[in-house]
Amino acid sequence: MIEIFLQGILLGGLYTLFALGQSLMFGVMRLTNTAQGDFIILGAFAVVAGTALAGGAPFAVALAVLPLAFGFGYALQRYVLNGTLGKDPLPSLVVTFGLSIVIQNLLLELFSADPRSIETGGLNTQGLALGESLSLGVLPLVILAIAVAATAGLQWLFARTALGRSFRAVSDDREIAELMGLDAKKVYAFATAIAFVLIAVAGALQGMRTTVSPSDGPLLLLFAFEAVIIGGMGSFWGTLAGAMILGITQQIGFRLDPGWGIWVGHIVFLIVLVLRPQGLFPKTRG
């Protein structure tokens, strides 16, 4: 029982990283990125390809991908997604959904449908023995630590920095914020840039922990989305809690019957949606 719980927490750490970017983009500009999962997979494949080119050093390659992801996210928001924002959610949904199809097929063309993983020199198989029968993987523990650090970092960024203040300002009222001299489009671009750094981190770690294949993206998107909604909008700690709940329920489901694990996760999400549509720990409305 304790083992299932701990494994669920560790899985939740990974889901937190999937979800933080989504939470950030929705929080700042009400943008639902339906290509979130595919960008995570794209990040993983970028590290796979970089490691192959560099002949090793996956961690250095992963670090090198982060600034690229930042620039990519900034440019994507600035030159593509900003034009789709507005009261009507359709344009941004269609554009990100189109991107999702483009990324999936591009990866399929470049890397084929075979699952790949990032070689970490055995880190992904090392375990940390806790007592007689309980052993936790080192890599999942590292992922959990990164997830908690990223959540704390984002919360700090929002609460304590000038950039975070501008995020909150454009989120609350874009027009007033612009009257006060903020360039909302630039602020949005920075939000997406940071979200894409988180996406790249999530992708690299997903690729190290397990295998990735070009069609994995949508499932990751759904997990990310469920974590955000369960946790409640506008709160990064809420997202973390939502991811933990999702991870634990999936672990319990998998233990009951491997065919129903993900199903149980979805059902718990739907139950939360019916009973508490604002999420468990909401901070902002709408």
Query: Which is closer to another protein, CB of 32 or CB of 117?
Result: 32
Q: Which residues, 6 or more positions from 191, have their beta carbon under 8 angstroms from its beta carbon?
A: 24, 25, 28, 29, 77, 167
Count the site residues for another protein by CB under 8 A: 43
Amino acid at site 282: P
Contact indicator for 84, 95 with CB cutoff of 8 Å: yes
Q: Is the dihedral of CA 49, 75, 68, 207 positive or negative?
A: negative
Cα separations in angstroms, 235 against 159, 240, 251 = 11, 9, 24
Of these, 44, 69, 95, 243, which contacts another protein (CB under 8 A)? 95
Name which position in 98, 115, 121, 127 contacts another protein (CB under 8 A).
98
Distance of closest approach, residue 233 Cβ to another protein, in angstroms: 9
Compute the least distance from the CB of residue 120 to another protein, in Å.
29
Residues between 228 and 267 that touch another protein (CB under 8 A): 229, 259-260, 262-263, 266-267
Nearer Cβ to another protein (186/276): 276
Region near another protein per CB under 8 A, out of 114-122, 132-140, 152-160, 270-278: 270-278
Among 77, 92, 151, 213, binds another protein (CB under 8 A): 92
| CA 275 – CA 268 distance, rounded (Å) | 11
Asked if residue 32 binds another protein (CB under 8 A), the reply is yes
- Alpha carbon distance 104, 77 (integer Å): 20
**How far is it, in rounded angstroms, from Cα 48 to Cα 119?**
8
Q: Binding marks (x or -) toward another protein, 68..87, rule CB under 8 A?
A: ------------x--xx---
Binding residue for another protein, selected from 100, 171, 239, 250, defined by CB under 8 A: 100
Q: Restricting to residues 104-123, name those near another protein by CB under 8 A.
A: 104-106, 108-109
Residue whose tokens read 């029982």: 1
3-state secondary structure of 128: strand
Residues 215, 211: Cα–Cα separation, whole Å: 12
Query: Per CB under 8 A, does 274 bind another protein?
Result: yes
What is d(CA 286, CA 276) in angstroms, rounded to the nearest whole number?
Answer: 14
**Which residues contact another protein (rule: CB under 8 A)?**
26, 30-32, 34, 80, 83-84, 89-95, 97-102, 104-106, 108-109, 218, 221-222, 225-226, 229, 259-260, 262-263, 266-267, 269-270, 273-274, 277
